[in-house]
Amino acid sequence: MLRLGLAGFGTVGSGLAKILHENRDIILARTGRDIRIKTILVRDLTKKRAVDTAPEVQFTTNPDDLVNDPDIDVVVELMGGVDTARTLITKALNAGKHVVTANKHLLALHGPELSTLAAQKNLGLYYEASVAGGIPIVQTLRESLGANRIERLVGIMNGTANYILSEMTTNHLDFATALKQAQDLGYAEADPTFDIEGLDTAHKLVVLTRLAYGKDFPLDKVPVRGITQVTQLDIEFAREFGYRIKLLAQVREVDGKIEASVEPTLVKYTYLLARVGGNFNAVRVEGNAVGPIMLHGQGAGDTPTGSAVVADIMALCRVLATPGAQFDNTGFRASNPENKPLPQAEILPADESVAMHYFRFTVADRPGVMAAIAKAMAEHGISIAQAVQKGDESGADVPIVFLTHKAKAKAVAETIREIDATSFAVRPTVHFPIL
């Protein structure tokens, strides 16, 4: 028997309980352990729950009922938030309990500290569900691609944002309606700002960067832009050029320096990443031995995420079944016998990042404007690949869209600053990188 203390019984907690109940036989066959929930921590004891629990399961509002119970082997943290979750996990590890969590926000901020504590106690700290819901990307980076240097990782890692962009692109839904639907389906964070402003994706990118490179890339150093500035107009222009707009997380190693970003990005419609729809996520990893691989699956929701949580509990059971085994929660424990926090990554300055770009200028429709923009771009070394201007007889303000060849982020920023200061610029310029 393995007894769980479950903190949180919302979307993911319910998914976990459902899987443990419905797939009990297969889980038992694979682990040899009967995994049971003993106690569930919630805020509101009177709330009606989405899933029934066995009569012996106790509900509580006191976190100490999980931490101080000697019968509980594993604390499964599915509450979200940072401070309460951090305190609970710290207390659980100090009490000798293994921890499974889906909390990427907490891990992005305090992962190294919690991993260090877990390693000092030789306890499991598992977090497969924290990135890309049901997709096994944590296990893949830590174990399956362990023989590779990771050259690049590109991912769609927020189900809510991808659902909104997909609905805006395919069904021409407006932003607010699509967001409401994603919330009703249980994909969104308690505060959906994290989803739509790219912060949740950044949390996940920080977690994956540690697994890929064994280095810590501080969250506040990740350049982040969300999807609130993506309009129907940009989606249509991108489509005209043969692209879809996706919220992409990217990290790569350039001459020993690590470059990371989260931004709406144009992706050629023929690429697999462009075809990832709804709440699905996808992560493409380029390893120097394996080449490119891609994982695709549901990145949010009750049982997809619950599947990853149960997989972690089962992985924990396998280590527990091996006497004397050590838990390697970071994938780099062997090179860190003193259990120090991961070293900081050397960061490539965002200004030096190089990519092709999409620009949409909104300008007065008068002679010389197109030429002036092209001149400014040329002066900053930006070479135009394609262009379109959609004026009409009215002579009203007009969008001009350019797709460029590769250019440095610094040149892009300076060009936009210069154009936006001219008398012909009517609205701030919109720009996105192109994958």
Q: Which residue is at the shortest CB distance from ligand NAP?
A: 10
Residues 95-114 that bind ligand NAP (CB under 6 A): 102-103
- DSSP secondary structure code for residue 10 in this structure: S
Asked if 11 touches ligand NAP (CB under 6 A), the answer is: yes
Angle at the Cα of 271 from the Cα atoms of 184 and 295, rounded to 5 degrees: 60
Asked if 308 touches ligand HSE (CB under 6 A), the answer is: no
Binds 31: which of ligand HSE, ligand NAP, none (CB < 5-8 Å by kind): none
Asked if 12 touches ligand NAP (CB under 6 A), the answer is: yes
Interface with ligand HSE (CB under 6 A), residue from 238, 300, 377, 425: 300
Q: Which residues of 379-413 are buried (b: 16+ CB within 10 A; e: fewer)?
A: ebebeeeeeeeebeeeeeebbbbbbbeebbbbbbe
Select which of 48, 204, 221, 340 is catalytic: 204
Residue number with CB closer to ligand HSE (190 or 396): 190
Residue number with CB closer to ligand NAP (103 or 261): 103
Residue number with CB closer to ligand NAP (44 or 338): 44
Best CA proximity match to 235, nearest among 177, 168, 178, 300: 168
Binds 160: which of ligand HSE, ligand NAP, none (CB < 5-8 Å by kind): ligand HSE
Asked if 433 touches ligand NAP (CB under 6 A), the answer is: no
- Shortest Å, Cβ 47 to ligand NAP: 5
Look up 204 and say whether it is catalytic: yes
Interface with ligand NAP (CB under 6 A), residue from 6, 9, 140, 358: 9
Residue type, 117: L
Q: Which residues of 171-185 are buried (b: 16+ CB within 10 A; e: fewer)?
A: eebebeebbebbbeb
- Shortest Å, Cβ 88 to ligand NAP: 8
Residue 359: phi and psi, rounded to 5, are -120, 135
Interface with ligand HSE (CB under 6 A), residue from 133, 134, 287, 306: 133
Asked if 297 touches ligand HSE (CB under 6 A), the answer is: no
Interface with ligand HSE (CB under 6 A), residue from 128, 189, 234, 312: 189
Angle at the Cα of 217 from the Cα atoms of 212 and 220, rounded to 5 degrees: 145
The position carrying tokens 């092209």 is: 374
Residues 187-226 that bind ligand NAP (CB under 6 A): 187, 189-190
In whole angstroms, what is the distance from residue 367 CA to residue 138 CA? 55
Residues 6+ apart with CB under 8 A from 44: none
3 state SS of 127: coil
- DSSP secondary structure code for residue 333 in this structure: G
Q: Which residues are the active-site residues?
A: 204
List of residues contacting ligand NAP (CB under 6 A): 8-13, 41-44, 47, 78-81, 84, 102-103, 129, 133, 186-187, 189-190, 300-301, 305
